[in-house]
């Protein structure tokens, strides 16, 4: 998969880089690269995933109780 980003007329390189970073972030490529940098045992991955789910559910429950 190739991402092609052409600079618009009069657009600076810095602005183009900012747009590229936004596209990569939206695609999730940066996060995937960071996650794949080091090997993580499957049990550790599962543990982290369940912890994130617990935190997410706890915050959702708190918002529901306020309403």
With respect to residue 4, please indicate whether it lies within any of the assigned structural domains. no
Domain residues for the domain of 46 are 13-66
In the chain, the number of structural domains is: 1
| Residues 15-66 pLDDT 10s | 999 999 999 999 888 888 888 899 999 999 999 999 999 999 988 887 777 6
Q: What is the 3-state secondary structure (H, E, C) of the chain?
A: CCCCCCCCCCCCHHHHHHHHHHHHHHHCHHHHHHHCCCCCCHHHHHHHHHHHHHHHHHHHHHHHHHC
20-46 burial code (b ≥16 CB/10 A, e <16): eeeebeeeeeeeeeeeeeeeeeeeeee
pTM for the full predicted model = 0.52
| Residues 51-65 pLDDT 10s | 999 999 988 887 777
With respect to residue 5, please indicate whether it lies within any of the assigned structural domains. no
pLDDT at 1: 64
């Amino acid at each position: 998969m190739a991402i092609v980003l052409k600079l618009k007329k009069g657009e600076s390189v810095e602005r183009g880089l900012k747009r590229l970073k936004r596209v990569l972030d939206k695609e999730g490529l940066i996060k995937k690269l960071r996650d794949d940098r080091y090997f993580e045992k499957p049990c550790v991955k599962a543990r982290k995933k369940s912890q994130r789910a617990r935190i997410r559910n706890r915050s959702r429950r708190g918002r529901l109780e306020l309403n």
